[in-house]
Amino acid sequence: MALKSTSKKFGNVPVLIHWVTAFLIIGLLLSGTRIAGLTDPDAKTALLKIHAPVGSLIGLLTLFRIVWWLFLDKKPEHPEGSPRWQNLSAQAVHFGLYLALILMAASGIGMFILSGAGPIISGWVDAPLPDFNDYPPRQAHGLGVWLLGGLLAAHVGAALYHTFVLKDGLLRRMWFSRD
Ligand code: HEM
């Protein structure tokens, strides 16, 4: 079973991290938007109990991915015949996605540390939930959503373009293989 990538295909470790991250990001975007709109503290606390650890996990997975690509594995080559500007744009979008995910995780953790929300949400301290808008990382968290959203739109758009316009089967590179 190929854990690492070849020149033509991603290995099973990066494939697993890619799809787990994709699935969890959808959940984080939906739960985060819901939390921001809630006024009921109990409902907000219940959702934050899931949102905060999952968001932190995404931060860790992103750091692991960076270490993986820097030291342990090499990405497959660009698709054959793909123009240079597309290769450079893909690299920029991938780099931007890592950056946006780290920004989101770090600003979320920052909000928790500065506001003291962690012990309140865990039930260790009996106090009202803080207003996160009073803490500067909240603004970064809100802006990060737009950055992440724009980059995700470009990333998914490119995958759809390869699949339905170029029909080059590029998406298969990002799926599990037995050999
Ligand atoms: C990749 C990781 C994350 C993503 C994609 C994400 C996504 C979101 C989104 C979309 C919102 C709504 C923002 C808005 O409407 O302006 C939100 C709100 C929030 N997130 Fe995250 N988040 C992540 C990580 C975290 C972490 C690690 C924590 C805490 C440890 C956290 C704590 C919060 C809090 C407290 C709010 C609500 C703030 C409020 O009620 O005003 N998030 N998140």
Domain ranges of the chain: 12-174
Q: Which of 38, 35, 37 is nearest to 54 (CA)?
A: 35
Q: pLDDT digit string (tens) for 22-61?
A: 999 999 999 999 999 999 999 999 999 999 999 999 999 9
Spatial separation of the C-alpha atoms in residues 44 and 121, rounded to whole Å: 9
Where does ligand 1 bind, in terms of residues with CB under 6 Å? 25, 28-29, 32-33, 35-36, 48, 51-52, 55-56, 58, 101, 104-105, 108-109, 111-112, 132-133, 138, 141-142, 145
The mean pLDDT of the chain is 97
Q: Which amino acid is at 21?
A: T
- pLDDT at position 69, please? 98
Protein residue with its CA nearest to atom 3 in ligand 1:
55
Residue 108 alpha carbon to ligand 1 centre in Å: 6
Got the DSSP string for 10-61? --HHHHHHHHHHHHHHHHHHHHHHHHHH---HHHHHHHHHHHHHHHHHHHHH
Protein residue with its CA nearest to atom 14 in ligand 1:
142
- pLDDT at position 179, please? 74
Can you name the CATH fold of 12-174?
Fumarate Reductase Cytochrome B subunit (1.20.950)
